[in-house]
Structure 1
Amino acid sequence: MRQGELSDDRRAEAVRPPRVYGIDHAIVVELHGEIDLVAYQRTFPLLDAVAAGPEAVVIIDLSEVDFFDCSGVSLLMRVHRRVAERGGAMRIVCADALTLRILRLTHLTEVLSAAPTLGAALLVREEE
């Protein structure tokens, strides 16, 4: 570990927990900070529970995410699969160019709608 870096345990403690709330017809989950393996392990049980409802509309808000790696891609894929199995829909809120590039390169934007704001993500559902 280099000077100034936090250990995995200390970094995990510093991560803000996701915020979950309902708005209109959707369940919104705001993720914060780094979405890496540690965040995946801490966040998936919550997202899995949110996705478990029949015909749920789940919006994952990545607006406050600072770092997004392959663990984040895997997290979104698993949650999307779970939502789709139950006849629901999933949207992503993301305006960060690097994160959007990762989503495009992994073809997630072909199965998930990505909107730059929460308002835009809510409108996507209404247009379907």
Structure 2
Amino acid sequence: MTPESDDRAPEPPAANPYARTRADGGFTVVAAAGEIDLATAGFLAEHLDAATATARPDVLVDLRGVAFFDCSGLRVLCRADSRAKERGGRLRVVADDPRLHRLLRASGLWTRFTPLPVIPRAR
């Protein structure tokens, strides 16, 4: 069995100013914060790579603490979403900022990442 097909979650990366990971019920929540751009998207990607490394990952990306989010962040979300789907899981976004909603619509990613307003209750 390869580590990527293992059901056990790897240790999440250390929290940084731009991302932190926590378990919340049956979900892995990756909370992003600050400005996610070309210089900082890698910090978010580290957390999303770890969160999507298990079989059937169920990942919530909480963007409510983000002040700025650009195409570098969208690229990271798309990559993580593809990884989750390849492993039989899913990735969803939690966002309540109208600016982020506009970015998702303008980029054509609204249907892929239709934002949830809050983190859902655990199953």
Matched with 1:11 is: none
- Contact (CA 8 Å) 1:90, 1:113: kept in 2 or not? no
Q: What count of residue pairs does the alignment treat as equivalent? A: 108
- Contact (CA 8 Å) 2:41, 2:76: kept in 1 or not? yes
Structure 1 residue 77 and structure 2 residue 78: aligned? yes
Higher relative contact order (CA 8 A, sep 6+): 2
Using the TM superposition, give the Cα deviation of residue 46 of structure 1 relative to its aligned residue in structure 2, in angstroms: 2.2
Using the TM superposition, give the Cα deviation of residue 44 of structure 1 relative to its aligned residue in structure 2, in angstroms: 1.2
RMSD: 1.7
Q: How does 1:5-16 map to 2 (within 5 A)?
A: 16=17
Question: Which stretch has the larger CA shift, 15-24 or 82-91?
Answer: 15-24
Q: Which has the higher helix share?
A: 1
Which 5+ residue runs of structure 2 have no aligned equivalent? 1-15
Q: TM-score, normalised by structure 1?
A: 0.77
Which of the pair has more CA radius of gyration?
A: 1
- 1:107 partner amino acid: G
- 1:35 partner amino acid: I
SS of 2:115 mapped into structure 1: strand
- 2:37 partner amino acid: D
Instruction: Show structure 1 runs of 4+ deviating over 4 A.
Output: none
Q: Deviations over 1:15-44 (max 9, x none)?
A: 714121111111001000001011112221
Identity %: 34
Matched with 2:54 is: 53
SS of 2:29 mapped into structure 1: strand
Q: How does 1:28-43 map to 2 (within 5 A)?
A: 28-43=29-44
Q: TM-score, normalised by structure 2?
A: 0.80
Using the TM superposition, give the Cα deviation of residue 49 of structure 1 relative to its aligned residue in structure 2, in angstroms: 1.5
- Structure 2 distance, partners of 1:88, 1:112, is 14
Matched with 1:103 is: 104
